[in-house]
Amino acid sequence: MSVPHLDAPAGAAPRPRFAPVAELGVAALVLVVIGGIYMASYAPRRPPLAVPIGLAAASGALLVVNVVMLVRTRGLAWDKFFLVGRWTLLSYVIAAGLIEFAFVRDHTRGGPLVVLTAMLILFAVDVPLIISFTVARFQSVRSDAT
């Protein structure tokens, strides 16, 4: 249900409706965080991997659906999306790399390291996607026809 006074100021054109990209991104991020907390709860023992693998797979599936919905989005300021996206992706890849380094330095090996690496990759892609989409959706779309 749309509330007119919240959608656009009086006399202004209403903003286009977008797919729930940010909401699905947050859901995918929540699954990764739950998986990481689950694995950390077993420290220093080796955690069972079924639950974290399932959570990471579900998060990955949500991320794929999210990217498909994003690609099909019309009326998004793609120039702003990519401008914000490349810098946030760079910063989150660096952060994920530092966290990965800490896991390796802490002698995390085998299956747990693979699952944590997959979760870090999902984290490093998902958060910049959420930030970039949120910025781009509120920017005006540049018209090449003018």
Written as six digits, the tokens of 92 are 């989150």
The number of domains in the chain is 1
Q: Is 13 within a domain? A: no
Q: How far apart are CA 15 and CA 8, in angstroms?
A: 7
Name the residue with tokens 């959608």.
7
Closest CA to 120 of 24, 39, 21, 47: 39
At 107 the three-state DSSP class reads: coil
Q: Is 113 within a domain? A: yes
Question: What are the mean pLDDT values of the chain's consecutive 10-residue runs (146 residues total)?
Answer: 50 73 96 95 90 97 96 91 96 96 91 95 97 92 57
3-class SS letters over 77-89: CHHHHHHHHHHHH
Amino acid sitting at position 19: A
Full domain range(s) for residue 81: 18-137
How high is the pLDDT of residue 144?
Answer: 52
Q: Is 31 within a domain? A: yes
How high is the pLDDT of residue 5?
Answer: 45
Is the whole model's pTM more than 0.85, yes or no?
no
At 22 the three-state DSSP class reads: helix
Q: Is 144 within a domain? A: no
Q: Is 68 within a domain? A: yes
How high is the pLDDT of residue 108?
Answer: 87
